[in-house]
Amino acid sequence: MPAGEPLWAHSFDTALGRCGVVWSERGIVASLLPDASPARLVRRHPTARLVDELPPHIAHAVDGIRALLAGEARDLGDIVLDERGIPEFRRQVHALTRAIPPGQTRTYGEIATALGQPGAARAVGRAEGDNPFPPIVPCHRVMGAGGEPTGFSAPGGVETKRRMLLIEARAVGQLAGDQQPLF
């Protein structure tokens, strides 16, 4: 991202806690999962101006994130990202991760194989761990080799990943008979 380019930020409440988005004129630069206080947004993106009024495409993104975290089966694939400055390999990982539908998962190895680099599971894991766009790029849907949730860098770690997967499983009807409370 060019130095001096204007950035804006907004934090908002969701079913999992306070989240946030940062954007440029080209698209979303970052999204933050729970614990996205205004102070945290400013620390991570010091040039961003905090705003309450949102352009329509950002309001759409915020509404989609809220709905997904509240238990709706939402596809956030139409949200425009500003991936300037992100290496090509990570962009490819993001694209494949965005293609995973709610209620489904893939392993780091499956993503690596889909990229034509079957030995790159750890590199995929690092790319997912550095994902600046959760849950727009749904890295919570990518598992370790045994299909178990591993390595989630958002606040709450793997437990947050499990909660997000449970929310999505219920939203797509995989747990229709399960009446345990979400929170």
In whole angstroms, give the CA distance from residue 182 to residue 7. 35
In whole angstroms, give the CA distance from residue 167 to residue 72. 8
Of 120, 139, 142, 167, which residue is the catalytic one?
A: 139
The letter for the amino acid at 31 is S
In whole angstroms, give the CA distance from residue 90 to residue 123. 9
> What letter would DSSP give residue 20?
E
- Give strand pairing partners of 32: 20
Would you give the distance in Å from CA 63 to the centre of its chain?
14
Helices marked H in the chain? 38-44, 56-70, 88-98, 108-114, 121-129, 157-171
The total number of residues shown for the chain amounts to 183
19 is catalytic: no
Q: How many CB atoms lie within 10 A of CB 103?
A: 17
- Give strand pairing partners of 10: 21
Active site residues: 139
